[in-house]
Every structure is written in structure tokens, then in C-alpha cells.
Amino acid sequence: MNNLNILVVEDDQSVKNLMTATLKANDYDYILAPDGHTAILEASSHNPDIVLLDLGLPDMDGSDVIRNIRSWSNMPIIVISARSEDSDKIGALDAGADDYLTKPFSVDELLARLRVTQRRLSMLHSESAGSSVFVNGKLKIDYSAGCAFLADEELHLTPIEYKLLCLLAKNAGRVLTHAYIMQEVWGGSWENDVLSLRVFMAALRKKLESDEGSPQYIQTHVGVGYRMLKVD
């Protein structure tokens, strides 16, 4: 049993049917909302564990639903968007969404995204609030000492690499957009220079990943950004 309650916000009948059949077959509970206003109402009255949110809603912009929910809750939100809504997807992540699925998606993709989010939830719950040490697989970050270790060996990171690593760790499980990362690490002084970000990321990965061909810790989302995955 999953015992998780999922709020499904979707106005398209066929997508809704696919999602609810998948959730039912995998022992998730769910509630349905056909539009943004109902979604906000159901989110606040039922406090679901995860929200699956279609971005193209009949009554309001999906990003406004996210901003509303984020003003009072950190509940994980996975947005569902059509390929033509790529910029909306990035806007939704910047508004506070955790992850995204692009239509058309398979049942396996949907379940995989739910599992990633569940792992993030369990990580959030197991970590004591205000803890100064982050542990993920062999990676350990000691925030108060300002250093990181891999299998107990200290990683020799530049200040920017360390900042990047901490940002990803503090948001483990969430997809962070290029713009968000650059804003957080370099502040407003930086132009949208994705190429440079990629260079710093490659340098960080070289030190962090044992196999750069199939990275364990940092996942690339082409055209979108990066995410730190929970490693067992």
C-alpha cells in the first residue's frame, strides 16, 4: 500500500482516465479537480501528499495555482504540460513546482516521477529540521564546516562548485531551472549564460560522479536544468 493521497488537476478526460487508472492500479488514493479554483480548494481542504497539475486549465494559469499553493504549503507539485508549452513548464518550475511530465507520457513515466517525489518526501521527513549535515548515498555535506565528502574523503571544490552542490542538495528531488540556479549562485549580476553554468556543472560532476557517462547524483534535464537525485 502506498497510502499516499494524490490530487489530480486535469480537464482533459482521456489524460485524467489514464492517470486515475494508473493510480488506482498502484494503490494510490486520489481526488480530482477539473480546474484551478477547485484545485486550490481541494489542496487546502484535503492536504494531499502530491499534486499532479495540468498547466493548461480552463479557468486560470497553472503557474498561478502553484504560486497560490506555495504561499501556504510545500506540498510536492508535478506539472503536466504539452510539448508546445515548454516555456510554461520552465515558468512553472520557477513558480515552485518540483517536477514535470510532458504529454504524451507513459504510465511508467508517471509512476517513476511519483517514486522520485516519494523518495524526496521521505528524505524531508527523515532529516531533522535545521540539520547542518546532509547525507545522500556516499555524499555528505557539512554545512557548518563548509565542506563536502564522498565516501569520507573530502571533495576539493571551488567556492562556486560548493555553492552549486549545496543548492542542489537543499532542493534534492526537485528540478531546478538554469535561470533559478544562476540567480541563486551568482545573483542578478549574471546574464543568462547557460554555457558557463554547464562548464561549472561538468567540473563539479567530474569530482562527484564515479561514472560521468551515467551520473548518479546530478541529473540533466536538457533545455530545462538539473536535479539532485536521492541515492540509496
Cβ distance to Ca ion smaller for residue 11 or 64: 11
Residue 54 or 161: the one with the smaller Cβ distance to Ca ion is: 54
Report CA Rg, the chain: 18
Closest approach, Cβ 130 to Ca ion, in A, equals 40
Annotate 79-92 with b (16+ C-beta within 10 A) or e (fewer).
bbbbeebeebbbbb
- Quote the least distance from Cβ 103 to Ca ion, whole Å: 9
Amino acid at 118: Q
> Min. distance of Cβ 10 from Ca ion in angstroms?
6
Give the nearer residue to Ca ion in terms of CB position, either 14 or 128.
Answer: 14
Per the rule left: phi > 0, alpha: psi between -120 and 50, beta: everything else, 94 is alpha
Q: For residues 113-144, b (16+ Cβ closer than 10 Å) or e, as one string? A: bbebbbbbbeeeeeeeeeeeebbbeebbbeee
Work out how close the CB of 61 gets to Ca ion at its nearest, in angstroms, rounded to a whole number: 11
Instruction: Round to whole Å and give the CA distance between 141 and 155.
Output: 10
Between 85 and 99, CB nearer to Ca ion: 85
Report the residue number, 14 or 214, with the smaller CB distance to Ca ion: 14
Preceding omega of 58 cis (within 30 degrees of 0): no
Instruction: Quote the least distance from Cβ 191 to Ca ion, whole Å.
Output: 34
Residues in contact with Ca ion by CB under 5 A are 11-12, 54, 56
